[in-house]
Amino acid sequence: MPEKHLSYFAVLDAFNSKECPVCFLVKQQIEKYFDNLLYEDVNDIIFRREFRKNHGFCNYHSYKFLSYNDGLAISLTHRDLIVDVIEGLKSKSIKYLSKRGSDKCIVCDLAKEAEERYASVIIEYMDDEDFQSKLLSSEGLCVPHYKTLLTKMKSPPKWLTDFHLKRYKDILSRLDKYLDSCNFSLGEKCPVLTNNEKLIWQKTVKMLFGFEGRLK
């Protein structure tokens, strides 16, 4: 069994979350990135140069940045972008404007790298007794991250497939129960839902598509 490192313990702890452990960890990494950006890196020359070269973040992470309501940080980082737009228009060149919305986003790249890293950790340690036990007591992986696992494995163990089938079938069952609760024609047979069951439609989307803003 390989030596256990920080990523191992991070995934182990994430199994206790009420969502896909990889989604949980990637979102944590993104929040940490923005925290560091706002408190330390806004004036970093290397960051500012790369941010300007990429024409900012992607649409989703630009609004994520905006959600922190840090006017100074937004103004400092986006002033260069407005200057570049003005210079491009003054030169009557559409070359700069045509490059707007670059496919490269620093945060997207960070998220993708984190997804790959944590998926690899799960594969590396899934035969570890404690690790496997925690995995089997977790919410399981969302469909996109389970797919990521499958692309990295020649043949997934039967227990892993059975576990995720059970998790997905459970969601289907609870979704059907929710739909029945909305069917007032059932009268007294209409099921009464717990607070968690009332939110199964949210869990369904998260399980099917992963964390909000995830690239396909």
Residue 94 included in any domain: yes
Place of tokens 């995995």: 135
Residue 1 included in any domain: no
Round to whole Å and give the CA distance between 67 and 56. Answer: 15
Residue 125 included in any domain: yes
Please give the share of the chain, as a percent, with pLDDT higher than 70: 94
Q: What pTM, to 2 d.p., does this model score?
A: 0.88
pLDDT at 60: 94
Residue 215 included in any domain: no
Place of tokens 């790249």: 109
Q: How many domains does the chain have?
A: 1
What domain range includes position 138? 6-209
φ, ψ at 183 (rounded to 5°):
-95, 90
pLDDT digits (tens, 9 = 90+) for 160-182: 999 999 999 999 999 999 998 88
Round to whole Å and give the CA distance between 197 and 202. Answer: 10
Contact between residue 15 and residue 134 where contact means Cβ atoms under 8 Å apart: yes
